[in-house]
């Protein structure tokens, strides 16, 4: 940030506007834009919901949430940014859980030769998509007595891949999600102060940016890993298809190349944060990283 007009107008200073949070947020926007685009051509959930690629809208919405966080950080409203970061974390959990349930329900239908009407009547994902049930952690009457909690999510994650669950659990143990919750519910007078630009301690703002960065990075590690396990095809580069369309022959296995933003996310935020997770991803050879 070199725009002295913006620096002077907001009064937040050079260190604030050159914080690494702005690079992370821009990378997250590009990442979810890719996921939205790449998931559009897949029929995941179509059998259950009669909607083409429900995750396309999920990722487009998450991209919008990241854009909102970036705007709030840019204008110095960090209390509001933390509240939206908590929302982003919930979106990550919801997307992972619905992906697991979608695969499970669709596979059950194909393997057991169930009647399609019975599938629809008993589908959690379909009911959630049409606002007839909450996906988890709700005791609403709309759930017809069924209550799916965070324990159910953890059990589903363990069943999917126990090793990854242990790695992610260790990573999440380092998060400070309570900071997001505090700002959501104003659990301290300081939470109000984070939304003020006219009079503040710049060190407090920079420390808040550091905390926000770490919370977003942890949520990203969580999401990145499970998307890779559940839908590695969403990470694919467009180079292979574009080359085929132009009649260009690429090298062997080029269809497994990851998109450039996926490689950027892996290099900047996964490898730098947790070596065990990066090694897990590299050994789980769905796609080709550099």
- Listed ranges 34-43, 54-63, 193-202; the one with the highest mean pLDDT: 54-63
The percentage of the chain sitting over the pLDDT mark of 90, rounded to a whole number, equals 49
pLDDT of residue 161: 95
- 131: buried, middle or exposed (CB in 10 Å: 19+, 13-18, 0-12)? exposed
**Most distant CA atoms of the chain, gap in Å:** 66
pLDDT of residue 121: 84
**Rounded to whole angstroms, how far apart are CA atoms 80 and 192?**
9
pLDDT at 183 over 80: no
pLDDT of residue 141: 46
Stronger pLDDT, 143 or 130, i.e. the higher one: 130
- Residues 218-237 have a mean pLDDT of 94
pLDDT at 5 over 50: no
Question: Which band of pLDDT confidence, cut at 50, 70 and 90, is reported for residue 199?
Answer: low
pLDDT at 123 over 70: yes
- Residues 192-206 have a mean pLDDT of 78
> What's the pLDDT tens digit per position in 7-48?
554 668 888 999 999 999 999 999 999 999 999 877 787 778
Determine if the pTM surpasses 0.75: yes
Mean pLDDT over each residue of the chain, to the nearest integer: 84
**Rounded to whole angstroms, how far apart are CA atoms 25 and 17?**
13
Question: Which band of pLDDT confidence, cut at 50, 70 and 90, is reported for residue 111?
Answer: confident
pLDDT of residue 250: 63
pLDDT of residue 77: 92
Instruction: Provide the residue ranges of all domains of the chain, joining segments of one domain with +.
Output: 4-234
Stronger pLDDT, 262 or 186, i.e. the higher one: 262
pLDDT of residue 140: 47
DSSP E strand boundaries for 79-162: none
Q: At what angle do helices 54-74 and 202-230 cross, to 10 degrees?
A: 170
User: What proportions of the chain, in percent to the nearest 5, are helix, strand and coil?
Assistant: 70, 0, 30
**Rounded to whole angstroms, how far apart are CA atoms 45 and 51?**
7
**Spatial CB neighbours of 156, under 8 Å, sequence gap ≥ 6:** 97, 100, 101
**Rounded to whole angstroms, how far apart are CA atoms 112 and 119?**
11
- Residues 168-176 have a mean pLDDT of 81
The percentage of the chain sitting over the pLDDT mark of 70, rounded to a whole number, equals 82
- Residues 124-145 have a mean pLDDT of 74
Stronger pLDDT, 145 or 251, i.e. the higher one: 251
């Amino acid at each position: 940030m070199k725009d002295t007009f913006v620096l002077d107008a907001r009064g937040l200073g050079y260190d604030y506007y050159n914080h690494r949070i702005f690079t992370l947020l821009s990378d997250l926007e590009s990442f979810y834009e890719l996921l939205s685009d790449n998931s559009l051509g897949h029929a995941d959930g179509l059998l259950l919901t009669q909607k083409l690629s429900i995750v396309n809208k999920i990722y487009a919405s998450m991209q919008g949430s990241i854009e909102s966080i970036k705007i709030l950080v840019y204008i110095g409203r960090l209390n509001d940014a933390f509240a939206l970061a908590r929302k982003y974390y919930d979106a990550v959990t919801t997307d992972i859980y619905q992906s697991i349930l979608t695969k499970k329900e669709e596979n059950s239908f194909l393997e057991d030769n169930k009647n399609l009407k019975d599938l629809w009547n008993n589908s959690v994902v379909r009911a959630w998509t049409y606002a007839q049930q909450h996906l988890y952690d709700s005791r609403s009457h709309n759930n017809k007595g069924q209550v799916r909690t965070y324990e159910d999510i953890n059990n589903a994650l363990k069943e999917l891949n126990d090793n990854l669950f242990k790695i992610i659990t260790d990573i999440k143990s380092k998060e400070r999600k309570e900071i997001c919750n505090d700002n959501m519910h104003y659990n301290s007078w300081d939470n109000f102060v984070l939304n003020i630009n006219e009079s503040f301690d710049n060190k407090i703002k920079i420390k808040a940016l550091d905390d926000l960065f770490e919370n977003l990075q942890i949520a990203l590690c969580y999401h990145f890993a499970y998307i890779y396990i559940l839908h590695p095809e969403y990470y694919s580069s467009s180079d292979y298809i574009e080359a085929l369309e132009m009649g260009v022959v690429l090298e062997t296995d080029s269809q497994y190349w990851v998109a450039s933003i996926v490689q950027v996310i892996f290099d900047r935020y996964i490898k730098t944060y947790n070596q065990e997770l990066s090694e897990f991803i590299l050994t789980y050879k769905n796609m080709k990283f550099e």
